[in-house]
Each structure stands twice: as structure tokens, then as C-alpha cells.
Chains A and B, each alone.
Chain A
């Protein structure tokens, strides 16, 4: 991770309150190297947009510094920050044609006409919208409008681009195409991107790193795989992907592993992530695809739990089975649809277990 000194974008102990009573952003520390694609992911109301707006200059931080290329930008007005921005509702100027929309940032920068035209053509070609220069935004579909909005944010060659849920209003297929195009463009052009979304798949597939927001704080900042496989707290574990949670008390910690006594009295193995002492309450988290129910695939001596099959769902590539485990009805396991795979039947009693490193003992 880059230190604050060489970071291109840095939030340094930033706080924000709108009403002087509650902090919407609490102690935000974040630093991004040049060229990184960082996504802010979190539930609605967690302060993502607020952070983006502070970076863009439309909101002022109540406390703390925001640095761009090492310089504090707290007192620089938005139009001097040179940050490209893509809005959720596209914010294309309805009274201007596509070309005029793209020309706008160049005109206010007093760029000559021929230069302008070259840049507009290049930007439109970049988003494959070269043929639409003369259209009005109202004559374009949602996906096309978003492409134009992207081109407009890039046409003046900013080094930093902010996107606030840019694909939120589009259908799934279009969203996936555009996700791919946006990441490709960002990497090709080498621009630094801050991307806001509440869609975890989007965050995981697009980003170099993801900052998971909740309650005005970054809960975890990590690359997608680490976020999924090694969630650092139970919020992140629950928020990213599907997850099984069992509650209990830490009974024994020995180095890299610990033993947890569940509320039902069962004993399981886990990795202590943010539990430090015996007797502490914890939520253990296990991904559904890491649960095994065949003895031969479990390590010697691992603890197992009795489980009753409640429901079996055939999903094509995988089977999704719901179990009752340790008095809990919502325990899910996922198994790959392979020729030798066993299909469980409701009512069947099985024993489940997992590798100790796949089970993480998190905060309660």
C-alpha cells in the first residue's frame, strides 16, 4: 500500500457533518496511487456520495484534509480541480447536442476550434459513439447517454475521474458490457478512478481495490479477492457475497487457529481474525462453497457439525442446499454440479465440516 506522501489522492482524517449533529463521514483515511481503479462500495446512506462530492469540491470537509497530487485542495473551487465526473443521471445538457456537450469543457478551457474537434472525435470514438455527434441527449438510449457522459468526463483529459453509480439505471446486460468498457478505458488511459456503487458484483469485477463503506467509515480496503476470502469484520463478510454466520464464544486460541464453542454447544475450528482473548463473543463466517460434507475431504481431527437437509435447489452450474446447523435454519452450502456430485435430499442427516482457515472468527 502506498503511503500518504506519494499518493495521488489522499483523504487524511476527513470528517463530514451536514447538520452539525451527526457525522456522515467519520474519520476517513484513504490513499490512492496514480492509475488505480478504486471502488467505494456500501449500502445506501453510508456516505459514499458525500466522499465523492468532497473530492469533487461540491461539499466541504468539516474536518481533515483532502490531497490531490500532494496538494491540499480544500480551498480550490470545483471548476479548478480538473476532475472528470460521471453522474448517475448522466447530467448531459439537454439543450446541447452530443458534440456541444463534449465541446463545453474544452471551450471553458479556451482550447482552439480545430484542437477541440480532434479531441471530441477521439473521445467519441473511444466510447464507440462517433456517429452520434449531432444528436440531442433526448434522442439517445440510456446506455448511449452514459457513454456520452463518460466521453464528456474524459474529453478534457483529467487525471482523476469520479463516477457515482453511473450504471445504476441500466439493465443488467448493458451494465456488464459497460463495466468492462469502463475498466478497459480507465486502464488504457492510465487515469485514476474513484467509482461508487452499491452493487458488490460490480465492485468486485471492476476494481483494483474496493473500499467497503458502512456507517461513515471504511470497514475494509482491499483487493477484491482478499475482500471476499478474508473479510476483516462481520459487516464485510455479510455484505460481500453469500455467507454463513454462526455465533459463539472463543474457547481457546492457539496461534493461527482457535476453537469456538457455538451457542448450541457444538465446537468448531476457526481462524481468529479480530478476536484476541478467550471468553470473547464472536461471529464465525464460512463461505457456502467451502463447506464439505464428505468425510474423506476433511482434514484429520477437524470438528464436524450435525446437519439436517431442509431444501435442495438445482441452479444449473451449482447446487444450493439449505441446512439446519447448530439450531440455525439458514445455513447454506453450495456444491459444484459435477458427475460424481451427490444430490442431497430434504430430511437427510449429514455431517459437515471445513478447513480451519476457511472459517473466520470475527467480531460479534
Chain B
């Protein structure tokens, strides 16, 4: 009987109930929709974008498509400079990229991996037009004037049999045509192709393709593009440059992540970076250790205050609470700058210590622009995030527990340690998670008072985003930071249990 209970309106009860619940669910969804959309747009999408950027590497293939293909046949561990065909591909790619100005962006990208490539690309971009390849155009024009006729070229390049015969020329011409439309707004059928198209034509002809109008190219002395590039800059004859290009030619790369942990891709696989470039592991470790110290300081300083707050009379407690919350009412920047004033070598604290006589005048304490400064200032800033959850948990512990413990014979300390403290642990947990997660990603304060020794990984991320513009590396560092936080959260859940975290009540 139970599977076919009928509601008053004659429908099965289950269906009626589901209908009623569905309407409720829809209404609930409509209520949270604005927030959901906001979170999606401002939180989930940026994170997804960051995760994507940390592995994305399309720029090499997009800028140098022919070179990437040509390099496939080259053994990068061989210490040999690639052959002529790679330089031919590079010539065409570069000639087009220069017009789009994308070669400088590629140069900056590859410069993250091997310094010097950026200037190499700039220099090559300026000089690639002046290669001696102009003779090809002359050779073809001399053989038949049709080769100098833009209309004729357009006609050939729309003929499928010609296209099939001249694959290199076709690809070069197509890209050239698109390029002059994009950059100058010209019509390809009215412009004579550029030298690199003739170079491609020569390559097809030399390879034995049958030209639309036969030209004998066997007597023509080919221009060695490898030599041309070598003349331009002998870095092009350095296998390392080519190794870098080849290593970073796939669409996706783990290079940014390797870089984030002081590794790099070499021709034989992953290897560690030179000693003087190893900074990120050190920074991650420092960030973790300092965040832990800040968290520890916050527990030590916050616990007694939270206890006072929870146990004082309401009026005094309110006053104290205002003092605790006061930092929230002033700008973060103002507070941090105030610490600068206090902590400087000529600052208030040092002056006082000198005046008391604890510290010698010529031996003032270095309290700022180092780790001490960062820890002091950040402990101050994050303290409320420790006190508030602690307070709200302590508020729920009735004083009768302590009394009970004492009446059972426990000293003040035993009563606190065995009865009160265990019950306040959820508050400590919540405070620690809050403070730690906030501090691990903190940026402004370490930037202002950290000097060089007291900065966090987030400062480095900010540097890569706004100064070096290496967004891929910034994204990889950010992703690692996110992973660390989630791993710690997971570990906390395993060890303490996230259900034990109480923010109140």
C-alpha cells in the first residue's frame, strides 16, 4: 500500500510532494542566484583562468608554426644546429610575425626560459627584411614577367592544382595575403608578393615541383638562410636557443610549474636551475614558516584576550571588544605605515629602548625591512581573526565547568588545561585556519615592511603580474599556493576534523 498513497487531489502522494518541494527549491535557488553568479564570475572563473594560464603555452606554435613543425625532425639533445629547412621555416614565420609585432611577445616569453632570446628576436625582427633573398624575386621576374604580376599570383593561388603543386609557396602566400589585409588593409591581388613568398617559391622549385610557368632554377645559387641568420646574430647557431624553442613548442607546458619549484626543462628532461636562480622553494618555505609563526603569535597573544573578553563583565568586555575591532576601522595601509614609524631604527620603539638603556645607540635593533617586521605587523593585523572565533567559542563554555573541575580537586592550572582548554580547541582551530590562510596569501604588509628578506611568495606573484608580465609563472605560483592551502586544510580535517572548527555558537 505504501507505494501508492494518493494525495487529496488524486495524484500519487510522492509526485505531489516532489512538486511542492521543487517549487521550494526553485525559490531558494532564485534567492541565491545573484550571489552564485557573482561568485562564478568573480571567483570561480578567475581561478579557472589562472589554472589554465599556468600550463597554457600556445604562443610559440602560433607565432612560429612552420618552425615548430620543422623542428620536429631535429634531435634537441644532439648539440647540433638544426638544418637549413628549419631556418627556411623560421625565415617565413619571422617575416610574418614581424608585421604582427608578435615576435617581441614571443621573445619575452622565451626570455623567461633563457635570457637573451628577447633581444635576439627584436634584433632579428629588424633585420630579417634585409636578407639577400631579394634575388629570388628578380630571378623569377626575369624568367617571366607574370611572376611579378599580383593578379597572376592571385589567380594561381586560387587554382587548386597549382596549390597542390606548390605547398610551401601556398602556405607562405596565404599567410602573406592575410597579413597584408590585417596590417595594411591592402588587397592581395594588387600587391606584389614579398621576398619570402618568392623564397618559398624557389624552395618548391628547387624541390622539383612543376611551376605554373616553368623556370630553370638549377643555375641559381641558393641563399643559405642559415648563414644569413648566423650573420645576423651567432646566437642562432647556438643549439641552446633552438633547444629552448623546441622544448617550449607544445601547446601546453609544465614549464611554469617547474620554474615555480626551481626546476627547468633541459634537453635531457627536468633539471634543477642554476644555484643563483633558485628562489621559489626558499620563498615558499619562508612563506609557510612565517605564516606559521604569525599564527603561533596570534594564538599566544589572542588566547588570553579572548578569555578576558569571554569572562569579563559585559560593559568592560564591550569596551575591550571595541579595542580589538579598532584595527578593522582603520585602513590597512595606515596601520602598516604606522608600524614603519614605530619600528624604524630611528623609530619610537628603538628610541625608547635606547632611552631606557637596554639597547646601545650605535646598535639599534633592526625591526623593519626584515622578517621580524613582517611578523610583528602581520600579527597585529591578523590578531582579530584569531580573537573573534576564539571569543565566540569561549563564550559558549559555561563557567560552571571550571568550578566543577576545581570542586573535584583540580588546581587552577589543571582545571584550565584539562577542562577549559580542550573545549576551546575548536576556536583555536578556526582562528588558526583563518589566520594561516590569510597570511599565506598576504601581500601589502610584507611589501611595505618586509624589505627583501621578509617578503612572501605573494609579493613575487605580484611582481610577475605587474612588472615582469610573466603571467604564466604567476599563475603557476598561485596554483601551487592554492594547492598548499588545500592540502593543509585536508590535513587539518584528517587530524583535527573540520567539524571541530567553530566560528561561534
Contacts and interface: CB of A to CB of B under 8 A. Distances in A.
Contacts of B407: 56, 78-79, 81, 83-85, 153, 162
A334 to B, nearest CB: 41
A102 to B, nearest CB: 10
Given A93-B419, A95-B422, A95-B423, A87 B404 contact: yes
Contacts of A94: 423
B158 interface: no
Interface residues of A, number: 26
Interface string B363-406: 00000000000000000000000000000000000101101111
A156 B410 CA distance: 12
A82 interface: yes
A105 B409 contact: yes
Contacts of A91: 398, 400-401, 403-404
Given A93-B419, A94-B423, A95-B422, A104 B400 contact: no
A89 B419 contact: no
A79 B414 CA distance: 10
A199 B414 CA distance: 35
B155 interface: no
B492 to A, nearest CB: 18
Contacts of B422: 95
* Most chain A CB within a 10 A radius of its CB, from B404, B405, B406, B414: B404
Given A94-B423, A95-B422, A95-B423, A108 B404 contact: no
Nearest to B411: A79
A152 interface: yes
B356 to A, nearest CB: 38
Nearest to A92: B404
A180 interface: no
B480 to A, nearest CB: 37
B400 A87 contact: yes
Contacts of A109: 409
B423 A78 contact: no
Contacts of A80: 409
Contacts of A87: 400, 403-404
Interface string B133-145: 0000000000000
B19 interface: no
Interface string A135-155: 000000000000000001100
Interface size class of B (residues with CB under 8 A): 10 to 19
Given A94-B423, A104-B418, A152 B400 contact: no
A108 B414 contact: yes
A82 B409 contact: yes
A116 to B, nearest CB: 13
Contacts of B401: 91, 93
Nearest to B420: A93
Interface string B73-92: 00000000000000000000
B406 A79 contact: yes
B358 interface: no
Nearest to A83: B407
B400 A156 contact: no
Contact of A78 (B406, B414, B419): B406
A311 B404 CA distance: 50
B403 A108 contact: no
A45 to B, nearest CB: 19
B408 interface: yes
Nearest to B422: A95
B400 A108 contact: no
A108 B409 contact: yes
B176 to A, nearest CB: 78
* Most chain A CB within a 10 A radius of its CB, from B398, B408, B409, B422: B408
A156 B408 contact: yes
B316 to A, nearest CB: 15
Contacts of A85: 403-404, 407-408
A104 B408 CA distance: 8
* Most chain B CB within a 10 A radius of its CB, from A78, A80, A87, A94: A78
Interface string A61-101: 00000000000000001111111110101010111000000
A104 B423 contact: no
A311 B88 CA distance: 120
Contacts of A83: 407
A334 B408 CA distance: 48
Interface of A: 56-58, 77-85, 87, 89, 91, 93-95, 104-105, 108-109, 152-153, 156, 162
Given A56-B407, A79-B410, A108-B409, 6 more contacts: A79-B409, A79-B411, A80-B409, A84-B407, A91-B404, A108-B410
Interface of B: 398, 400-401, 403-412, 414-415, 418-419, 422-423
18 contacts: A79-B406, A80-B409, A81-B407, A82-B409, A84-B407, A87-B403, A89-B398, A91-B401, A91-B403, A93-B401, A104-B418, A105-B408, A105-B409, A108-B409, A152-B408, A153-B408, A156-B409, A162-B407
* A-B interface, 6 closest residue pairs, ranked by CB to CB distance from nearest: A105-B408, A91-B404, A85-B407, A91-B400, A78-B406, A95-B422
